[in-house]
Amino acid sequence: MSRLQVVQDVAASGVVAVIRMKDPSKLKGVADALIAGGVTAMEVTMTVPGAVGLIEQLAKDLPAGLRLGAGTVLDPETARQVILAGATFIVAPTLNLRVIEMCHRYDVAAMPGCFTPTEILTAWEAGADVVKVFPATALGPQFFKDIRGPLPQIKMMPTGGVSLTNAGEWITAGAVAVGVGTALLDPKAIAENRFEVIADNARTVVGAVAGARGKESHG
């Protein structure tokens, strides 16, 4: 699976589920619910206890159509660990050029986190496959419109501030996909094993993205 194919798949789905959980035993139920709801890309963050082992386990069990990534990867050593465990894309909240280099050594997609126009362009010029704009909470969809004026070639994905209801606004503003965490993965529902809530949330956000793209194609 080449990094180009993974990026195409993530862009096609338009949604990356960001999984930050305290109880790793719930991970399989969450993954199944996301798939049922139409989300085909998920990242397990390094803040989840035993994240590397979980990624390795998930990579063996996941359906062929699902892309599994690792998040909150801060250094090249961790990147190599999760790549060998089976992650097909690497996400970070910050920009580390050595992480991008490590990812490309293994033909794995790199999605570093950036905040300013200079960081975003620096990441892209260093070979980032998608630039994660974080925390997007402070910026809003208009920021994406403004950036895409002079830099239309850059694939950007907001994380932070993306909700089930506003996901479509980010796509309309030029995002290639959206990263969604708490809004999608309701902690209370997970704690109570109500995974159908997660599946419903997934359908909502996938529908919002599809609706925004439908408007674009007819616009």
Sorting pLDDT into bands at 50, 70 and 90, what band is 62? confident
Separation of alpha carbons 206 and 203, rounded Å: 5
State pLDDT tens for residues 141-177: 999 999 999 999 999 999 999 999 899 999 999 999 9
In a domain, 219, yes or no: no
Model pLDDT, residue 1? 82
Q: What is the residue range of 181's domain? A: 3-214
Contact between residue 98 and residue 76 where contact means Cβ atoms under 8 Å apart: yes
In a domain, 92, yes or no: yes
For the cut 60, the answer to whether the pLDDT of residue 219 exceeds it is: no
Model pLDDT, residue 145? 96
What is the average pLDDT across 78-82?
Answer: 98
User: What is the chain's mean pLDDT, rounded?
Assistant: 94
Separation of alpha carbons 171 and 197, rounded Å: 24
- What percent of the chain has a predicted confidence (pLDDT) above 70? 98
Sorting pLDDT into bands at 50, 70 and 90, what band is 63? confident
In a domain, 153, yes or no: yes
Separation of alpha carbons 144 and 130, rounded Å: 14
In a domain, 138, yes or no: yes
ω before 135 within 30° of 0 (cis)?
yes
Separation of alpha carbons 213 and 35, rounded Å: 21
Exposure letters 117-136 (e unless 16+ CB within 10 A, then b): eebbbbbbebebbbbbbbeb
Residue 132 bears catalytic tag:
yes
Sorting pLDDT into bands at 50, 70 and 90, what band is 185? very high
State pLDDT tens for residues 11-54: 998 999 999 888 888 988 998 999 999 999 999 999 998 999 99
Model pLDDT, residue 66? 87
CATH code at 19? 3.20.20.70
In a domain, 185, yes or no: yes
Model pLDDT, residue 218? 61
As for how many domains the chain has, the answer is 1
In a domain, 60, yes or no: yes
Q: What pTM value is reported for the model? A: 0.94
The catalytic position among 22, 26, 28, 43 is 43
For the cut 80, the answer to whether the pLDDT of residue 130 exceeds it is: yes
The catalytic position among 28, 56, 132, 196 is 132
Model pLDDT, residue 217? 64
Contact between residue 41 and residue 62 where contact means Cβ atoms under 8 Å apart: no
Helix (H, G, I), strand (E, B) or coil at 186: coil
